[in-house]
Amino acid sequence: MITRIISAVVGIPILIGIIILGGTPLMVALGLVMILGLREFYQALSKKGFHPVEGGGYAFTVFLVFSLYLGTDWATLGIYGAFLLTTLALLIQKKRNVQDGILTLYGILYIPILMSYILRVDLLENPPYIIWVIFIIAFATDTFAYFTGMFLGKHKLCPRVSPKKTIEGSLGGLAGTIIACGVFAYFILPEALFSFMVLGAIGSAVAQMGDLSASMIKRWTGIKDFGKIMPGHGGVLDRFDSIIYTAPLVYYYITTVIV
């Protein structure tokens, strides 16, 4: 617990600073996070006996971030290129098979594509400070679920995937996130207070799905954590698992419901 708190005390100010700066610093930092997360995912697959085409995944990530930096969105073109590179690797390297190719492309969709929505939200002009909602939803869900589960948790939520998570903790995370999003909207965009509270409810459910999805991958590959880059928190994917699922939701909700 102490290690987890110390890591948070050190990491949160860095995260806040990068988000405040936005623009190029955010793109560079997020690009690095994408590559580290993708590497963790591919390494987990390697321990399961698979041979993902790592170079294709990293090349796609750099291409995607660079295209967004230029103000364009070549994600579809990038996926096409990654598909060609993966197919070429399967053809010329005997140790790889179709499963390796599928898992390579799944990693691309799961990590850089979904994470790129953080950048897409940052590029939105209105409403102001909206990028914070992604992290408010993810961190509020995690924090409220953790402490509610600790003090009130009795009924297991999904014991096959994550034995420690409880229904009470899940509901606590949901309620806490609704309140947190409501407080954010009250100060930033009070006329959309109800819409943000609805976003908080949906976002919390999605964030918990992201957390359980990562837990399912870890259990399938036989690892406890994706990495050790953040003491007490594990790897990049251990910390960003819920954010990965939350970012696209926030982007589409903001652009279709609120704006």
**Model confidence pLDDT, tens digit, residues 39-61:** 999 999 999 999 999 999 999 99
Asked if pLDDT for residue 148 goes beyond 80, the answer is: yes
Query: Is the domain of 66 the same as that of 141?
Result: no
Asked if residue 196 has pLDDT above 90, the reply is yes
Q: Count up the domains in the chain and report the number.
A: 2
Among 207, 255, 221, smallest CA distance to 106 is for 221
Q: Are residues 133 and 259 in the same domain?
A: yes
Same domain, 142 and 74: no
Is 161 inside a domain boundary?
yes
Share the mean pLDDT of the chain: 91
Which of 68, 65, 76, 73 is closest to 109 using CA atoms?
A: 76
Give 58-72 pLDDT, tens digit per residue: 999 999 999 998 888
Q: Are residues 158 and 77 in the same domain?
A: no
Q: Is the bond into 127 cis (omega within 30 degrees of 0)?
A: yes
| Structure confidence at residue 93 as a pLDDT band (50, 70, 90) | confident
Q: Name the packing angle between helices 114-122 and 131-152 (round to 10°).
A: 130
**Domain edge (last residue) among 84, 99, 123:** 123
Residue 2 placed within a domain: no
Give the Cα separation of 210 and 243 in Å (integer).
8
Instruction: Judge whether 211 and 138 are in contact, CB under 8 Å.
Output: no
| Same domain, yes or no: 50 and 95 | yes
Q: CA–CA distance from 145 to each of 24, 61, 113, 166, 248 (Å)? A: 33, 32, 27, 8, 22
107 and 143 part of one domain: no
Q: Is residue 16 part of a domain?
A: no
- pLDDT score for 247: 97
- One domain, residues 189 and 105: no
147: pLDDT confidence band, cut at 50, 70 and 90? very high
Do 256 and 131 have their domain in common?
A: yes
Query: Distance between CA atoms of 178 and 184, rounded to whole angstroms?
Result: 10
Domain span holding position 42: 21-123
